[in-house]
Structure 1
């Protein structure tokens, strides 16, 4: 499938909605915690076991993005969005079969492995194209699209909760909910497949700078630089610190206030997940757009430094006030989302736009690592504390302290980022020039 080239007069503002249709769909991953309690009850699973589909999905996201990044650059966004549609929808259909037959391994395989490939290819599918359409405002452009991934749970969380209430929270009800998800997301993602276009020339915006100006580094050279690995550590630490709590958001707020006079109901916990999704989504556009003004290093100082402070407040006084707990969690998730949306622009600043999609894909292996570490830390420690007879907020105290330490490591890595040495630069890329010649002659 050749990349669809924009006709003369095509508006670049049609590209972000195409990206959003994919990211809003695959962003359902952030609503997985809504399915955790019903699965644990229906299939007799522990918290660690019920996190496996989500963890594997994030692992496959990073791996498929890393190995598929070059293919995405070569085949274009329409091919990538089509692959994402097929894998993500099929993952839900397999999960529906697994729930209906009470074969949990099939849910793990469907949602985690097959669906996770759809997550990775879908996540990176519009990034390079958006940066080339918006070379003048890369943080804003990627933020618009990537906010959809953060906002996906804003739709999926209450929708999933309502379906489970209507269909039932037993295995057959869960299966039907998975089936509806798979079919609905297939239709919605198809809109992005049909709408997306790539720019005709290397200057998609007549009044803006060339998409290929300045420093350019190939994907192969990029992974040999200390800058790449500093960004890898930054992303891994920021994601680990956020994803563990996000994945367990519904049971966490329930446990924190279980022993109070006003415990949190299941519907309120689902509403909390939706609020976190809104903060995640808002942070992606607000903070990434702000990075165009204040610089990438400064904005990551905010994410990592202020994020550690928010975790400290939750760890030590979070159980004393629901508003304080919720506000701190919302700020943390806005930084978490902002970190995702800003990283492509940070990559563009350091390595240029040549093969930025492939570089971004390789960097997302940090997300794979964090997808294992975050839920593993929070769920494993909570399970051990529960076995020791503890309950409530005591299940999470150690996890929160660990998250503070991880954010401190990320803060140090951000301070070490410097411009890429000239020995890693490439001249005007022949591959890029060939692409532009083909587009101009089309």
Structure 2
């Protein structure tokens, strides 16, 4: 076994504190299947970022109640950040959601190197403090009615927690499962997609419990979530273990097929290679198209099909208030169904990539995606609601699958030594897509409405543009090639007795009690969330 030179890996450390990387190294016999529940414990909690919109309406009625007290038109944005005299606009609250993913990408990019230095336990602890601390600050922001504190707490500090919590389990799992990298990443990232299935109904229930005649129970709900999530995230963080250097599963034989590299590339070198930027574009294009469609799936359903959702031959403009409310309920169930496919796609497509390779999987995303986006033009014109729902579910499954498959492709391309840091920098593509996708879709829609295009046709140009983006993504996918050997980390031979030892592996202990308890802790809440989502989705098909 060889040791990385100091020049290539400048963060060698000898500390042995409880949160050090050395204290998390697994002992012989450790069962690697205990690690996925720890990863899921973090991702199921931070995934609540997807479901935070459950708070927007009650947050916009904190002062005026059912008759919100609108701020004066002449009041500046800065005054709205500190005022306690009028209610917040939902558009202002929505910036919290944007801040989530901007700070997620920034934190993952800036501190990905630190993850490789100190290990997942310390990073997971900081992620817990930031995410749960951000929720607690948000609770205080609601109590004192200070919008700037909400942006700082949930948006900025919470966003940093999202970034650190997102990358720390992924690199750890891929080291434990070199034979199933896609499945390993899919298990962790599936939790991030599933966080809203648990968090949104839980937050809604907590608001009901704490609601009084004088308030909606919003700040109490946020504080309770912070405490609940802190328990789960700390349990997962303290359960982290990393394999010793050189460990491989029994009977594992490294594969060099399907674009899997045998070299290790330093993060400071990787991000300068064309492969990194091609993969950056692959993720950005896949997420831009997916998040754009996800954001407009509900209004598209309502505006295109309108009265047909109720069995009536009425346009959107002809519907009365009661009919619009019934359609909104159906759209909410449909949105829950999309969330479920988002989760399942993360595990399914990432696991499939272990069998057919990452390039083929992403090529399928882009080819099939472009075809399905284009087919929506015909489906919308024909008014086939069922076919529309099926196509949207497949598209959103590939959107989630892209998030879960890209870490494995990074590991295949640059090696696993610094995949956490490289993945962190690549996630800036997500931050960019979080802006480009909604902006592209919303502005195209508004422009078409402004020139008099009927609501059911305002998405046609958008679907054509998104299809074009996916074709560009396919070209980027096909251009990815193995990294040149000149980018390999320089290695030096040590005199350590272990340097000549064979690869480490062991027969895993069954550890059935620990495995059962660990999986039940994350499995029961996830099944509860899925059950609620399915019950809501059934309303769409009645």
Q: Normalization by structure 1: what TM-score?
A: 0.88
Does the CA-based 8 Å contact 1:18-1:195 persist in structure 2? yes
Which whole-Å CA distance do the structure 2 matches of 1:377 and 1:435 have between them? 55
Distance 2:444 2:224 in 1: 34
CA apart distance, 1:84: 1.1
Cross-structure match for 2:368: 306
1:181 to 202, 208, 225: 225
Query: Structure 1 residues 261 and 323 mapped into 2: Cα distance closer, same or farther (>3 Å)?
Result: closer
**What residue is the counterpart of 2:526 in the other structure?**
none
Count residues with an aligned counterpart. Answer: 436
Partner-residue secondary structure (3-state), 1:331: helix
Q: Which runs of 5+ in 1 are unaligned?
A: none
Alpha carbons of structure 1 residues 77 and 239: separation in structure 2 relative to 1, 3 Å: same
Residue 42 (structure 2) aligns with: 22
User: 1:192 deviation in Å?
Assistant: 0.6
Give the whole-Å Cα distance in 2 for the aligned partners of 1:32 and 1:380. 24
Match of 2:349 among 270, 277, 287: 287
Aligned mates of 1:90, 1:253 — CA distance in 2: 37
1:353-387, Cα deviation, whole Å (9 max, x unpaired): 12111111111111111111122233444555666
Distance 1:183 1:380, change over 3 A: farther
Q: Partners of 2:427 and 2:204 in 1: how far apart? A: 30
Give 2:117's aligned residue.
Answer: 74
Show structure 2 runs of 5+ residues with no match: 1-18, 62-67, 69-86, 311-323, 505-542
* Residue in structure 2 matched with residue 317 of structure 1 by the alignment: 379
Shift, 1:232, TM fit: 0.1
Note the C-alpha offset of 1:161.
Answer: 4.3
Q: 1:52 to 1:163 in 2, by over 3 A?
A: same
Q: Among residues 143, 155, 160, which one is paired with 1:117 in the alignment? A: 160
1:142-221 alignment, distance < 5 Å: 142-163=185-206, 172-209=216-253, 214-221=262-269
* Closer, same or farther: CA 220–430 of 1 in aligned 2, 3 Å: farther
Is the alpha carbon distance of 1:354 and 1:388 closer, same or farther for their aligned partners in structure 2, counting shifts above 3 Å? same
Alpha-carbon distance between aligned partners in 1 of 2:406 and 2:480, rounded to the nearest angstrom: 13
Once the two structures are TM-superposed, the CA of residue 139 in structure 1 deviates from its matched residue by: 0.9
Q: CA deviation at 1:135?
A: 1.1
Paired residue for 1:414? 477
Q: Give the Cα separation in 2 of the matches to 1:350 and 1:94.
A: 40
Query: Going by fraction, where is helix more abundant, 1 or 2?
Result: 1
Does the 8 Å contact 2:56/2:90 carry over to 1? no
Per-residue deviation at 1:68?
0.7
User: Would you say the 8 A contact 2:309–2:385 is kept in 1?
Assistant: no
Are residues 1:365 and 2:428 paired?
yes
Query: Structure 2 length normalisation: TM-score?
Result: 0.73
Structure of larger gyration radius? 2
1:27-66 matches, within 5 Å, as 27-39=47-59, 43=87, 45=89, 47=91, 49-66=92-109
Q: Does 1:246 align with 2:294?
A: yes
